[in-house]
Structure 1
Amino acid sequence: MAVKLIAVDLDGTLLSSSNTILPETERTLKEASKQGIKVVLATGRPLSGVMSYNKQLGLSGAEQYDIVFNGAVIQNLAGRVLMNQEMNYRDFNAMLRLQRLSHVDVHFETTKCFWTCDRDLSVQMQINAATTNNVMKVRRREEIPQNFTFNKVSFTSTQGDDQINKLWNTIPDWAFDKYDIVRSFSNTIELDAKGASKGNALTELADRLKINQGKVMVFGDQGNDISMFENPNFKKVAMGNAIEIIKNNADYVTDDNDHNGIAKAVKKFVL
């Protein structure tokens, strides 16, 4: 199979447990890029949270691309937005309704900053802002303008995973019908506009680049990667540390993120 595009999730996939790209994985992806293969980071983070990793891989400019906010936005590495799926003030109020189902915090992510109405920020919310180099704007509900738009929502908790479990088990059907909702980690629930997913965004990007879907290879490990593993045309590689649904939908299971799983699969199937 002549792979033309390699899409990699970030946390738990490209990044090791120490949040670094292992040297062998870096060398392998650089070699793939040198051979003309598009290397695309597909992540729940905003572009600001992945640019340092793009730079490390030697990726830059208007002809390289990232899928961010779990597929709500496609941007080139010069910052231009190619696709943008937003939610609005009505959705903002719906998120506050969901928040009342459990003791959770909620923050709203845009291409410029994060917003929240919560005064006591969970550790995970603080980590999300810090690791993505984003300002967290804390505002009262009445300070949020009615023309407010956002790309992604994250629910976290100051009281641990139990409250995230409670929310996950009580989200009503109307919310699943209206939004794409994923349990990205044990301590985080993420929500995007309906149809906004890594899988759909990757399909859109491949079409824009005139790359056949059968020449796309994807790597992932968690719930927000499932949409990429539902496309029957992609070459799907699960990390050794992936959740079972990812492994069950994969064409191949490679080593984990601490043992160069990406590098081993790319060398086996691509280089």
Structure 2
Amino acid sequence: MAIKLIAVDLDGTLLTRSNTILPETARTLQVASSQGIKVVLASGRPLSGVMPFASQLNLSGKDQYAVVFNGAVLQNLAGGILMNQEMDYQDFNTMLRLQRLARVNVHFETTECFWTCDHDLSVQMQINAALTDNMLKVRHREEIPKDFKFNKVGFTCQKDDGQVEKLWNTLPYWAFDKYDIVKSLDTCIELNTKGASKGNALMELADRLKIEQTQVMVFGDQGNDISMFENPNFKKMAMGNAISNIKEKADYITDDNNHNGIAKALKKFVL
């Protein structure tokens, strides 16, 4: 069955290690889009961190879409929100309790900005805010309003100090029952409300667009992409640089993100 929707992760998939899109990959995705195939960027980033790359692919407007915050939010590229799954002040307090399990920073991501109660910030937290063009608001705990809502949580640490790994190994079982939790990097754990995932958001979008799940192709490389690779109906393309769990679930392993892996797979299976 012909592919009608191509979902592409950003970091480590669409983007090279220098945070750019290779010209051949951009041209191939543009050809797919010109043929009426929906090209959907699916990222842990907020929309502000997706739009510069959507623009490079000539994607814009309310008829083009992005899956952001690891699937907690589904938006069109005009900024309209189609689906929004949030956590609340009770969850905020829970995150602060989990933070005590290791020496890590925790920040809270909303569609407007990032928040944290930490004053000594890890480089990874600062990178996350900078790459997504987001204001990072540093506040004391008592300054956080009781009606505070957020879409995603990031636990980060300094490179090579092993604290994210320590947190990952000590997170209680009930946390995995209550939230969707992935380790997206050695220095970052990402957490969403239960059921908020890239895979579920893509199923929602495909249903809205009247596209069969067997007509959806996904590209990914890291832990926050696993939900897309657990769908038995999607056509699953693992990047050559993907973690083993992604490769094991893939229908095909393409080249890595620095060697036009997306373009090569699309030319083989779609175009």
Q: TM-score range by the shorter chain?
A: over 0.9
The alignment partner of 2:219 has SS state of: strand
User: Which residue of structure 2 lines up, in the alignment, with residue 92 of structure 1?
Assistant: 92
Hey, what's the Cα distance between the residues in 2 that align with 1:98 and 1:256?
A: 35
Mapping of residues 1-271 of structure 1, within 5 Å: 1-158=1-158, 160-271=160-271
Q: Report the Cα offset of residue 161 of structure 1.
A: 4.4
Question: 1:10: Cα distance to partner?
Answer: 0.2
2:24 is paired with a residue of what secondary structure? Answer: helix
Farther-moved stretch of structure 1 (153-162 vs 168-177) = 153-162
User: Contact between 1:103 and 1:159, CA under 8 Å: does it hold in 2?
Assistant: no
User: What TM-score do you get using the length of structure 2 for normalisation?
Assistant: 0.99
For residues 212-232 of structure 1, the C-alpha deviation after alignment (integer angstroms, 9 at most, x for no partner) is: 000000000000000000000
Is contact 1:105–1:158 with CA below 8 Å preserved after alignment? no
8 Å contact from structure 2 (residues 159, 187) kept in 1 = no
After superposition, give the CA deviation of every residue in 1:190-236 in whole Å (9 maximum; x if it has no partner).
Answer: 00000000000000000000000000000000000000000000000
Instruction: Give how far 1:158 is off.
Output: 3.5
Could you tell me which amino acid in structure 2 is paired with residue 110 of structure 1?
T
The one-letter code sitting in structure 1 at the alignment partner of 2:164 is I
Q: 1: CA distance between counterparts of 2:71 and 2:60?
A: 19
State how far apart, in whole Å, the 2-side matches of 1:243 and 1:233 are. Answer: 21
What's the C-alpha RMSD, in Å, of the aligned pairs?
Answer: 0.7
8 Å Cα contact 2:197-2:227 kept in structure 1: yes
- The one-character-per-residue Cα deviations of 1:107-160 (angstroms, maximum 9, x if unpaired) are 000000000000001000000000000000000000000000000000001474
**Any runs of at least 4 consecutive aligned residues in structure 1 with deviations exceeding 4 A, and if so which?**
none
Query: Are the aligned partners of 1:236 and 1:251 in contact in 2 as well (CA < 8 Å)?
Result: yes
Paired residue total: 271
Q: Between the two proteins, what is the percent identity of the paired residues?
A: 76
Deviations 1:153-187 (A, max 9, x none): 00001474410110000000111010000001111
Unmatched segments (≥5 aa) in structure 1 = none
CA distance in 1, matches of 2:159, 2:248: 32
Looking at structure 1, the residues matched to 50 and 154 of structure 2 have their Cα atoms a distance apart, in angstroms, of 18
Secondary structure at 2:63 match in 1: strand
1:30-69, Cα deviation, whole Å (9 max, x unpaired): 0000000000000000000010000000000000000000
Q: Normalising to structure 1: TM-score of the pair?
A: 0.99
8 Å contact from structure 2 (residues 158, 187) kept in 1: no
Tell me the SS of whatever aligns to 1:83. strand
Q: Deviations over 1:14-45 (max 9, x none)?
A: 00111100000000000000000000000000
CA–CA separation in structure 2 for the residues paired with 1:158 and 1:242:
23
Q: In 2, Cα distance between the equivalents of 1:160 and 1:262?
A: 30
Helix, strand or coil at the partner of 2:130: helix
CA contact (8 A) 1:180 1:193 kept: yes
| Counterparts of 1:89 and 1:18, CA distance in 2 | 37
Partner letter of residue 95 of structure 1? M
* Ranges in structure 2 where 5+ consecutive residues have no aligned partner: none
